[in-house]
């Protein structure tokens, strides 16, 4: 792996700050000062030191959770009886990557890797997230399409989606699929309210290229290495 990522995973600094440390000659690899940012190291084989201390990788955890409704994403709120951390393993101090409001469900990531979380949440990368939303009310195609083309303002806040697809019409509404690249608070619910639609259920089904799949409600699994790398790859290019 790249030396800067190794430093970040060892808790030295963020990946970008680690690159500066390397350029400044502050990192020792196998007894030699290393100033090449592109240097690769093999965990368990190469010896990496910073400020005279040998570095070891932290035990990072990356989890996909199918959040049920009724669970808050906050870790410390005495007013919340149920939080997502009641569903996650207790051995690691985890935090959520972004949030889903208490009445929403679906795919949520949790980790103890701050660098990973910050990259996925940074608005610059416009990481796409998909939501399946059941609404009731009159479905007006022109109004729905306008939210993606021109955007919409509700309570003095401007919202614009990447896309809204009418997946299926029902007797009193529709199932919509929202694609968002930003995370304003209760964004989908505010947009629906502006369209005179009532949200009956809201489920996040995808983050980047990671899909919820068959993960049971309230269940979780650890991400595979290739899934972690695929998510990080989406944050590589500047937009």
Catalytic residues, which ones?
A: 101
H-type alpha helices, the chain: 3-9, 15-23, 114-121, 141-149, 187-194, 225-233
Cα separation values, 202 from 35, 84, 134, Å: 49, 17, 7
Are 133 and 163 contacting, i.e. CB atoms less than 8 angstroms apart? no
* Residue 223 CB contacts under 8 Å (≥ 6 apart), including other chains: 62, 63, 64, 109, 210
Output DSSP code: residue 103.
T
Interior/surface letters 210-236, b for 16+ CB within 10 angstroms, e for the rest: bebeeeeeeebeebeeebbeebbebbe
Q: Which three-class secondary structure state does DSSP give residue 119? A: helix
Tell me the HSE value of 6 on the side-chain side, using a 13 A CA sphere.
25
Question: What values do phi and psi take at 144, rounded to 5?
Answer: -65, -45
């Amino acid at each position: 792996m790249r030396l800067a990522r190794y430093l970040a995973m060892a808790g030295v600094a963020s990946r970008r700050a680690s690159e500066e440390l390397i350029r400044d000659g502050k990192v020792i690899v196998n007894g030699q000062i290393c100033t090449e940012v592109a240097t690769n190291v093999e965990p368990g084989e190469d010896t990496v030191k910073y400020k005279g201390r040998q570095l070891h990788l932290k035990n990072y955890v990356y989890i996909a959770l199918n959040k049920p409704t009724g669970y808050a994403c906050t870790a410390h709120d005495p007013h919340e009886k149920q939080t997502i951390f009641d569903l996650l393993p207790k051995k690691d101090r985890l935090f959520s990557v972004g949030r889903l409001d208490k009445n929403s469900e679906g795919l949520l990531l949790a980790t103890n890797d701050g660098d990973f979380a910050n990259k996925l949440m940074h608005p610059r990368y416009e990481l796409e997230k998909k939501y399946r939303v059941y609404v009731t009310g009159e479905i007006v195609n022109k109004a729905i399409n306008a939210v993606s083309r021109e955007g919409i303002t509700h309570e003095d806040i401007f919202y614009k989606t990447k896309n809204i697809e009418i997946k299926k019409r029902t007797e009193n509404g529709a199932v919509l699929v929202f694609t968002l690249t930003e995370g304003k608070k209760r964004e989908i619910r505010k947009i629906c309210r502006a369209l005179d639609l009532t949200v009956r259920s809201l489920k996040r089904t995808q983050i980047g290229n990671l899909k919820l799949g068959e993960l049971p409600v309230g269940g979780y699994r650890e991400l595979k290495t290739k899934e972690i790398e695929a998510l990080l790859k989406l944050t590589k290019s500047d937009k």
